[in-house]
């Protein structure tokens, strides 16, 4: 059996992602991919990629620079944007399975030609950010019964955590939304046809740090399905 080598992009809470994947099996090797380490070439040995959460994607990447005032000026990193763009290019050129989480969903949607809503409350949506004391919100999600996400979770509804102020706007080429929150915010994206490329699932929540991540199908089943395809 080929060893699983999972590349995880660097972020402020990188350790959460590392521990979540490492908990699945002691046989998994994990590689931190980061422009700070100048180690892009390490992606060549990876069998799957996780794009992690973190900073706002700079709106120049989706050709809406007028959205810049809605972004958090101290919470953007264009070097990271550029590095992860290269990661996305590599995954698609080399058919690597990819799981995008929170910001990972957002930059992947932009990569495929989509846009972002730069600040949900400013654009008429409920607040999906953390509570003021720093704890994740939790809310319901509805799943398309014909989606990959439904196949993975076997759930048409569920409860997921939430800690974001941006979300997907227009959806990228050849992608489709597979779940929504009750107020209509995009919660997951996948390929329109799973046969059209490598395994791809993008989720707006944080499966790596859910309070019930060891039993919740929107965490443990996603990890299992991702690793199975890696």
Point out the residues that are catalytic: 102, 206, 208
Sheet containing 137-143, strands listed edge to edge, beginning at the edge strand earlier in sequence = 29-33, 5-9, 48-51, 98-101, 200-203, 186-191, 175-181, 137-143, 157-162
Put residue 222 in one of left, alpha, beta given phi > 0 → left and psi -120 to 50 → alpha.
alpha
- Euclidean distance between CA atoms 83 and 85, whole angstroms: 5
Are 183 and 189 a contacting pair, CB within 8 Å?
A: no
DSSP characters over 91-158: HHHTT--EEEETHHHHHHHHHTT--EES-TGGGT----SPPTTSPPEEEEEEE-TTSHHHHHH--SEE
């Amino acid at each position: 059996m080929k060893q699983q080598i999972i590349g995880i992009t660097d972020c402020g809470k990188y350790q959460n992602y590392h521990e979540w994947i490492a908990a699945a099996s002691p046989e998994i090797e994990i590689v931190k991919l980061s422009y700070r380490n100048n180690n892009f070439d390490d992606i060549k040995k990876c069998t799957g990629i996780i794009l992690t959460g973190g900073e706002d994607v700079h709106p120049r990447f989706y050709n809406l620079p007028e959205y810049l005032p809605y972004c958090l000026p101290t919470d953007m990193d264009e070097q990271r944007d550029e590095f992860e763009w290269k990661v996305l290019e590599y995954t698609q050129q080399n058919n690597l399975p990819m799981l995008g989480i929170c910001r990972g969903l957002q930059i992947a949607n932009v990569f495929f030609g989509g846009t972002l809503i730069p600040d949900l409350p400013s654009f008429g949506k409920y607040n999906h950010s953390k509570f003021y004391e720093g704890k994740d919100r939790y809310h319901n999600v509805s799943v398309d019964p014909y989606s990959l996400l439904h196949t993975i979770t076997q759930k048409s509804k569920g409860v997921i955590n939430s800690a974001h102020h941006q979300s997907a706007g227009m959806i990228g080429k050849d992608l489709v939304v597979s779940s929504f929150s009750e107020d209509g915010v995009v919660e997951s994206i996948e390929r329109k046809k799973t046969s059209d490329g490598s395994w791809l699932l993008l989720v707006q929540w944080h499966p790596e740090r859910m309070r019930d991540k060891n039993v919740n199908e929107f965490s443990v089943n996603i990890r299992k399905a991702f690793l199975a395809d890696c």
